[in-house]
Amino acid sequence: MDPAHAILFEPVKIGPVTAPNRFYQTPHATGLGWQRPQAGAALRGMKAEGGWGVVCTEYCSIHPTSDDSPHGFLTLWDDSDIAALALTADAIHAHGSLAGIELWHGGAHASNRMTRVPGIAPDVQPAMFHLPTTARAMDGSDIKVFRGWQRDAALRAKRAGFDIIYVYAGHDYLPFQFLSGRSNTRGDAYGGSLENRARLLREMIEDTKDAVGDTCAVAVRLAVDELHGPRGITSEGEGREVIEMLAELPDLWDVNIAGALGNDSKSARFSPEGFQEPYVAFVKSLTSKPVVSVGRFTSPETMVAQIKRGVQDFIGAARPSIADPFLPLKIREGRADEIRECIGCNMCRAANNEAVHLRCTQNPTIAEEWRQGWHPERIAVLPKRQKVLVVGAGPAGLEAVLALGRRGAEVTLAEKAGALGGRILRESTLPGLGTWIRVRDWRAHMIGKLDNVQVYPGSKMTAADIAEFGADHVVLATGSRWRRDGIGASGMLGLDFPKALIPDDIFAGAVVEGRVVIYDDEHYFMGGALAERLSAQGHAVCYVTPHATASSWTALTDEQGFVQTRLLKAGVEIVPLHTLVEQSPDAIRLACAYTGREVERPCGTLILVTGRIPVDDLYAPLVAMGVAVSRIGDCLQPSSIADAVYSAHRFARGFGGAVEPVLRREKPPLKGIL
């Protein structure tokens, strides 16, 4: 271990328990929830194996009035939930780490779509997330009952074996709804003054400590700034006052920012490493209790600086612990160069928002620990050494080479360009996406450590060249190209845009003249990022989309609001709900997506961002020659970088197997059915 990093491995006392080091995996969603306890336990156990001193669950509902279906959440509604959660506590303890559980009530944030019971909130208010329902106001008896739910859930968590039990007052959930004057207009002892609005949080801490504080630490997760200015909780105002008021009550403060989950887990496109520090740095000066916060920490030097400067006592992490569950162990063993750094793309957040299990661009094994038996640091060696040629060094090709190389294959990588990286080389030059180059850098670095891998950039290969090479198996990772025919998500067919450019042209240095119109029918980052880049270069830009918002899919990565705000501030004209009909020499014709009413817009340069098609020209000739060949990544199915990396990793794991691997599913026992 580098002596400069030794401070990160000091034990820290948290009330009645002691963390073995300062690495703290803060609560984060996995999409696995109460329905998949074995998968959840395996995922958290992997974090503990990787050296995280504290490993916490995702949000765990304390009562059926807090139902977040269809999203994956845990439950401690009754004693029958204890055994399932004990699997997670045991998996964490198996590696000497502390197990934390985040007890949760969403208040007006809970949809209760599964339980169909009325939602509760400080006041009568519409349910959040634009659902056509209303949460009812809690009266005094409701509050008393609610406190009992928290206490009962804490006792069940203790029986399940957890060491740290949370009172969750962040992200606009029920205790925070009581705290904030924006959502609490009550006139009783739980409303009005800040002391009254903080009463429920104080009582929850006291109740939880009374129930389990003899052997379990009680943590409070608090949003110290909801980013709504003086109308809400701010780190300069009431957020600070709440910490002062309750400073010594909990055993640990887990502090962040709120307003929306996207603020707390802001992508790298819109925030640097450690971006929350200006909001949370004051907390340690007001309490003697340990403090943890997050900020997408990936650099050991930044981590050490956070501790030495007194910002926090632990290095809190959600996304970096997903990208590399073994980050702490690599630092301890002097292998910091091998850390698989989070790129801040928020594909993990997209998975949660889509109500599916976790995924990560950098770590294709996340959430596959139980389902497929994948380990992020170990992979089975091939029973027989094989000679494999991989063509293409984009994200899929690099992942395949690394995984196959680790399996013991004799791997050759041929890349027609002079540099490795494929699409990453282009996309990482877009505004805010510089961290994406880590996908290339980490894999290239780790490949360089393998003696059984040869890399040849600047090597364009024909089908004849590939056949002559004589590999036992050929893997095509030749990527994709953007479409020129305008076919996109809205299904535009057979139109001709002879003068239009595509993103590939822009990256190749095509000349852009006159007013630029970007037609985005793909809806992820590319259209908005190109609009931002060209606007910054001084072009007048009009962004057109059939959807209602710019880069609409980025709502799932919690970025859409930031994208639209930045484009508007840059002076980009956004024309939503229109499809592209025709291009003339100096104009385009658009049609309303609903009425079909057509309008004309001036246009000097039209850029189509609609869809991609595989570059698989080599595949059919190789098959005809009898070459054993497979396609992976965008060459098989154009998609996100995360999907390309996963495709390659799954191929490498299954390579040499006689049958297609089966995905295990967790199924409840069915009695009386044969």
Question: Tens digits of per-residue pLDDT, 90-149?
Answer: 999 999 999 999 999 999 989 899 999 999 999 998 877 667 889 999 999 999 999 999
Quick check: 260 pLDDT over 70? no
User: Which of the 8 DSSP states describes residue 417?
Assistant: S
- For residues 113 and 68, the answer to whether their CB atoms sit within 8 Å is no
> In the block, which residue shows the tokens 């400080």?
122
Residue partners of 232: CB distance under 8 A and separation at least 6:
180, 181, 182, 226, 259
Which amino acid makes up residue 67? Answer: D
CATH code for 3-353? Answer: 3.20.20.70
- For residues 613 and 481, the answer to whether their CB atoms sit within 8 Å is yes
* Interval 505-534: pLDDT, tens: 999 999 999 999 999 999 999 999 999 999
- For residues 464 and 377, the answer to whether their CB atoms sit within 8 Å is no
Length of the chain (residues) = 674
Q: How sure is the predictor about 76, in pLDDT bands with cuts at 50, 70 and 90?
A: very high
Backbone angles phi, psi at 412, to 5 degrees: -120, 130
Residue by residue, DSSP assigns 239-290 as: HHHHHHHHTTSSSEEEEEE-SSHHHHT--TTS--TTTTHHHHTTGGGG-SS-
> In the block, which residue shows the tokens 């205790």?
175
Cα–Cα distance between 566 and 548 in angstroms, integer? 17
- For residues 232 and 223, the answer to whether their CB atoms sit within 8 Å is no
Average pLDDT estimate for 407-424: 97
**Exposed, middle or buried by CB within 10 Å (0-12, 13-18, 19+), for 141?**
exposed
- For residues 130 and 187, the answer to whether their CB atoms sit within 8 Å is no
Quick check: 222 pLDDT over 60? yes
pTM of the model: 0.95
Q: How sure is the predictor about 643, in pLDDT bands with cuts at 50, 70 and 90?
A: very high
- For residues 632 and 477, the answer to whether their CB atoms sit within 8 Å is yes
* Interval 290-308: pLDDT, tens: 999 999 999 999 999 999 9
Give the tokens for residue 385.
């050494």
Cα–Cα distance between 97 and 109 in angstroms, integer? 32
Domain 503-611: CATH superfamily is: FAD/NAD(P)-binding domain (3.50.50.60)
- Res 229: pLDDT: 82
Average pLDDT estimate for 641-657: 96
Quick check: 674 pLDDT over 60? no
Q: How sure is the predictor about 658, in pLDDT bands with cuts at 50, 70 and 90?
A: low
Q: Which CATH architecture has domain 387-479+615-654?
A: 3-Layer(aba) Sandwich (3.40)
Q: How sure is the predictor about 172, in pLDDT bands with cuts at 50, 70 and 90?
A: confident
- More confident site: 429 or 491: 429
Helix (H) or strand (E) holding 599: strand 598-602
Backbone angles phi, psi at 182, to 5 degrees: -70, -30
Cα–Cα distance between 189 and 199 in angstroms, integer? 8
Q: How sure is the predictor about 273, in pLDDT bands with cuts at 50, 70 and 90?
A: very high
- For residues 48 and 23, the answer to whether their CB atoms sit within 8 Å is no
The C-alpha torsion from 283 through 284 and 288 to 289, rounded to 10°, is 70
Q: How sure is the predictor about 227, in pLDDT bands with cuts at 50, 70 and 90?
A: confident
Residue partners of 110: CB distance under 8 A and separation at least 6:
61, 65, 66, 67, 68, 119, 127
- Res 662: pLDDT: 74
Cα–Cα distance between 208 and 185 in angstroms, integer? 26
Residue partners of 475: CB distance under 8 A and separation at least 6:
388, 389, 390, 391, 397, 400, 404, 629, 630, 631, 632, 651
Average pLDDT estimate for 432-445: 98
Cα–Cα distance between 12 and 637 in angstroms, integer? 48
- For residues 395 and 633, the answer to whether their CB atoms sit within 8 Å is yes
Report angle CA 252, 253, 254 to the nearest 5 degrees. 115
Average pLDDT estimate for 480-490: 92
Q: How many other β-carbons are positioned within 10 Å of the β-carbon of residue 185? A: 13
Helix (H) or strand (E) holding 218: strand 217-225
Average pLDDT estimate for 455-483: 97
Measuring CA to CA, which residue among 123, 21, 32 is closest to residue 75?
A: 32
Look at strands 587-592 and 578-584 and give their pairing: antiparallel
Quick check: 354 pLDDT over 60? yes
Residue partners of 397: CB distance under 8 A and separation at least 6:
390, 391, 413, 415, 422, 475, 477, 632, 633, 648
> In the block, which residue shows the tokens 């197990």?
99
Measuring CA to CA, which residue among 50, 61, 69, 78 is closest to residue 27?
A: 61
Quick check: 549 pLDDT over 90? yes
CATH 3.50.50.60 in the chain is located at: 503-611
| Burial 649-669, CB ≥16 within 10 A → b, else e | bbbbbebbeeeeeeeeeeeee
**Exposed, middle or buried by CB within 10 Å (0-12, 13-18, 19+), for 672?**
exposed
3-state helix, strand, coil in the chain (%, to 5): 35, 20, 45
Cα–Cα distance between 674 and 666 in angstroms, integer? 18
Q: How sure is the predictor about 232, in pLDDT bands with cuts at 50, 70 and 90?
A: confident
- Res 397: pLDDT: 98
- For residues 309 and 280, the answer to whether their CB atoms sit within 8 Å is no
Q: How sure is the predictor about 225, in pLDDT bands with cuts at 50, 70 and 90?
A: very high
- For residues 107 and 135, the answer to whether their CB atoms sit within 8 Å is yes
> In the block, which residue shows the tokens 């494929």?
422
* Interval 18-74: pLDDT, tens: 999 999 999 999 999 999 999 999 999 999 999 999 999 999 999 999 999 999 999
User: Which of the 8 DSSP states describes residue 306?
Assistant: H
Cα–Cα distance between 105 and 62 in angstroms, integer? 6
Mean pLDDT estimate for the chain: 95
Cα–Cα distance between 145 and 458 in angstroms, integer? 69
Which amino acid makes up residue 619? Answer: Y
CATH 3.20.20.70 in the chain is located at: 3-353
Catalytic residues: 173
Quick check: 610 pLDDT over 80? yes
CATH 3.40.50.720 in the chain is located at: 387-479+615-654
Residue partners of 445: CB distance under 8 A and separation at least 6:
337, 338
